[in-house]
Amino acid sequence: MSFLKEKNARYLLAGRTASSLGDSIYQIAVIWYIYELTKSTVFTGIAVACISIPQTLNFLFGPVIDASDKKKILVHSQLIQFILMAIVPLGIIFHFENVYLVLIVITLLAFVENYQGTAEVSIVPQIIEKKNVGSFNSFNNSLQEIINLAFTGSFSIIILYVGIRDIYLFNALTFLLACLFFAKIKYSRHSTSSKNIFENSQSNIIEYKNNLKEGLSYFLSSKLFIISLPFMFANGLMSGIAAILPDFANSLGDSNYYGFLMFSISIGLLIGSIISPLFMKLKVGTIFIALPLITSSIWTLSLLQPVLFLTFILFSLSMVPFGIMNIVFLTLNQNAVDESLLSRTLSISDSFLFITIPIGAVITGIVASATSPLMMMYIGATSFLIISIFYFAHPYLRTLPTIEDLNLSAKEHS
């Protein structure tokens, strides 16, 4: 973990960790709170949409982030989130608990968080040595998974002894703490041709459109789109699986097994994040052929064998390769994309990756209701086999080099 010797890496990691302390419990608490207010799954469904839909619009943020000081974005976004998060506990204190107020707040929070998230990812290769980027991503993601795991497992106890008002106050304070850490980052902004984007409103609009088109053109023509396609498919698939997991847990004999299944997924992804640096020197094409095949095989085995205890263990192990793939894909984006286009490309990539999530959840729910949750789980396992075959069958994807040798530059997509 040589990246820990870098002050910027420590401040960025500390800020992300502080923010995640609030995010992890907030993501669980908000759905629970809305259900407590309304006793309606319609409103909880709307809440999920409010949180996820802004992610599909990330491509709009890229040009602005590329033309802005990313450190200021990190600092100011945390301050905004602190203010927004404080609105809910203040409403509770003054006896103004309103579901529509909560929905407005979580929608605004989602927009700000996505804006900040893109800036946070794109600033990494600018403030951390290139050789340490992969290790930093792995450590950072693993730490977030651990935090998420801890709060997911202890939420029922937290809500019992703390209460929703204090949870939101805690969340607000974590954003303020993150702001202080981000403010300590030493960041020299690299000027680009877009540095005058905000000089006046007319040039702002023209330059914004040009930068947006440039980022989209890069994404589609640099082969990053074709690399991302299987991940779009995987995201839609996993959101769908998450939607039918309660029904699958019930088919195993007890709806309480849902918690075990979610815990199994989190553990698998965590292990994958931790060990992902071991795979950074391998050819990307080989990784994206072999790992989905391993996931498909172990997942299928978990469904075929009859021992319930082994079902949870094997299902967790099947998520390990998927966790590795996520970190490799993120590092690939950060290292192989032109720095001047990084924010735009990442935001466009995020939009493409997230657009399949609501679609996948709806389609999977329909198919599961027409067949069975077990059948849908088999389809999920088989889908990873399709991802492996897709990478193997495509001549460009099959021969993707190591991350160090992969360069999605203008020369490659010209």
Residues 150 and 243 placed together within one structural domain of the fold: no
233 and 179 within one domain: no
The answer to whether residues 134 and 267 belong to one domain is: no
- Most confident segment among 40-54, 225-239, 358-372: 225-239
pLDDT at 414 over 50: no
Asked if residue 119 is part of any domain, the answer here is yes
Residues 247 and 348 placed together within one structural domain of the fold? yes
Q: Given phi > 0 = left and psi -120 to 50 = alpha, else beta, which region is 149?
A: alpha
Residue 312 has a pLDDT of 92
Q: Do 297 and 171 fall within a single domain?
A: no
pLDDT surpassing 80 at residue 314: yes
- Tell me if 165 sits within 8 A of 96, measured CB to CB: no
- 118 and 20 co-located in one domain: yes
Domain count, the chain: 2
In a domain, 247, yes or no: yes
User: ∠ CA 358-245-158 to the nearest 5 degrees?
Assistant: 95
DSSP character for 199? Answer: S
**Domain shared by 318 and 405, yes or no:** yes
Same domain, 102 and 31: yes
Helices (H), 276-372: 284-304, 308-336, 342-370
Q: Could you tell me if 68 and 181 lie in one domain?
A: yes
Mean predicted lDDT score pLDDT of the chain = 78
Which pLDDT belongs to residue 393?
92
Distance between CA atoms of residues 324 and 288, nearest Å: 10
Q: What is the pTM of this model?
A: 0.64
Give residue for tokens 């996820």.
52
- The CATH number of the domain holding residue 296 is 1.20.1250.20
- Residue 270 shares a structural domain with residue 403: yes
Model confidence at 254, in pLDDT bands (50, 70, 90)? confident
Same domain, 231 and 154: no
DSSP state of 316: H
Structure tokens at 312: 């949870």
Domain ranges, residue 398: 215-413
